[in-house]
Amino acid sequence: MKIGLDFDGIISNCGKLKSDGAKKLYDVDIPPVKFKKEIVVGEKHLTMEQYHELQKIIYGTREIGFLMEPVDGVLHFLPRLVADGHIVLVVTSRGEIELGIAKEWSIQKGLQLDFIGVGHGKSKANAANGLDFYVDDDLDKLEPLVDIVPHRFLFSWGYNAHVDVGAIAKRVASWEELYRTIQLLGGVR
């Protein structure tokens, strides 16, 4: 199968970085699992301006950007997908500078990946054309793929637990479950 993966929230876990950054910059305590714009800004922990400034620092500076942690299980199961013969493509909203950091970090972690960076606020529909399977931690990114990618999955985190996936996607809760799901769907190519 041709498998598309979002980067932040699927491969890298930036929750702790954002949480630590918010504490350092604004002296606000926000747990990593709650760190999503809708929640943080919606519940007025940070202003939109503060959130964007924090995002810029977390994703766009090398000193902090490289401190992100891999999502549990990704370093084990992602190479197994490739070894099983699947084609894996990362489709991320990161812009150029942030994408460069993501690529370098992935190499440091031993992950050989192809990336497409579509840019912030842009649809992933064009980049996802031809994929059989796509997983994201943001339902808004999955919605435009309904008629494009047959198998769509939302990776569950505390910050998206309240979201009703409806017919847009199914949920997976871990990399192990993601790997098993792909095995059941597509077998080995």
Q: How far is the CB of 93 from Mg ion (least distance, A)?
A: 7
Stretches 3-11, 34-42, 99-107, 167-175: which one binds Mg ion (CB under 5 A)?
3-11
Q: How far is the CB of 126 from Mg ion (least distance, A)?
A: 18
For Mg ion, the closer of residues 77 and 159 by Cβ is 159
For Mg ion, the closer of residues 55 and 183 by Cβ is 55
**Furthest CA-CA distance within the chain:** 50
Q: How many other C-beta atoms can be found within 10 angstroms of the C-beta atom of residue 55?
A: 17
Closest CB to Mg ion: residue number: 9
- Strand 69-70, strand 12-13: pairing: antiparallel
CB-count exposure of residue 167 (10 Å: 0-12, 13-18, 19+):
exposed
Question: Is residue 6 involved in binding Mg ion (CB under 5 A)?
Answer: yes
DSSP state of 144: G
d(CA 5, CA 77): 13
For Mg ion, the closer of residues 8 and 98 by Cβ is 8
Question: Is residue 9 involved in binding Mg ion (CB under 5 A)?
Answer: yes
The residues carrying an active-site annotation are: 6, 8
Stretches 17-25, 42-50, 136-144, 171-179: which one binds Mg ion (CB under 5 A)?
136-144
Q: How many residues does the chain have?
A: 189
For Mg ion, the closer of residues 155 and 179 by Cβ is 155
Q: How far is the CB of 141 from Mg ion (least distance, A)?
A: 7
Residues 157-186 that bind Mg ion (CB under 5 A): none
Question: Is residue 98 involved in binding Mg ion (CB under 5 A)?
Answer: no
133, 149 in Cβ contact below 8 A?
yes
Helix ranges (DSSP H) in the chain:
15-26, 37-42, 48-60, 62-65, 74-83, 96-108, 125-128, 139-142, 175-186
For Mg ion, the closer of residues 6 and 98 by Cβ is 6
Task: Give counts: helices (H), strands (E), the chain.
Answer: 9, 8
The residues binding Mg ion (CB under 5 A) are 6, 8-9, 137
